[in-house]
Amino acid sequence: MDIMDTIKEQIEGNDILLYMKGTPQAPQCGFSAKTVQSLMACGERFAYVNILENSDVRENLKVYSNWPTFPQLYIKGELIGGCDIVLEMYESGELKELVKKAAAESASES
């Protein structure tokens, strides 16, 4: 399977997916730390990919998403954005609403 297929499969297979540096328990950069804190504060489970463990994903995700930086948050297959956008959405309440909706849809599908 080619790396672009792998990325597509990861995004389509997870309703809430964060590509980040490190893990939610041990973020490896400030931007990933702020983003994961905002996401965790929404109170729903989410998947993550530590891009530091896979250079192919790290380099090709920039091409796939046409977004040059990390972290990158995807909800229901759509790129939401990076740290600044996620923080703005969290502060406005929009992120929690989006995350709760995605989690509820996922629960009703299973």
pLDDT digits (tens, 9 = 90+) for 46-85: 999 999 999 999 999 999 999 999 999 999 999 999 999 9
* Rounded Cα gap, residues 72 and 66, in angstroms: 11
Q: Give the pLDDT band of residue 96 (cuts 50, 70, 90).
A: very high
* Rounded Cα gap, residues 39 and 16, in angstroms: 10
Q: List the binding residues for [2Fe-2S] cluster.
A: 29
Q: Where are the domains of the chain?
A: 3-100
Q: List the binding residues.
A: 21, 29, 58, 70, 83-84
- Could you tell me whether strands 72-75 and 16-20 are parallel, antiparallel, or unpaired per DSSP bridges? antiparallel
The mean pLDDT of the chain is 96
Q: List the binding residues for glutathione.
A: 21, 58, 70, 83-84
> Running DSSP on this structure, what letter comes out for residue 30?
H
* Phi, psi angles (nearest 5°) of residue 24: -55, -35
pTM: 0.95
CATH number given to 3-100: 3.40.30.10
The H or E element spanning position 106 is helix 94-109
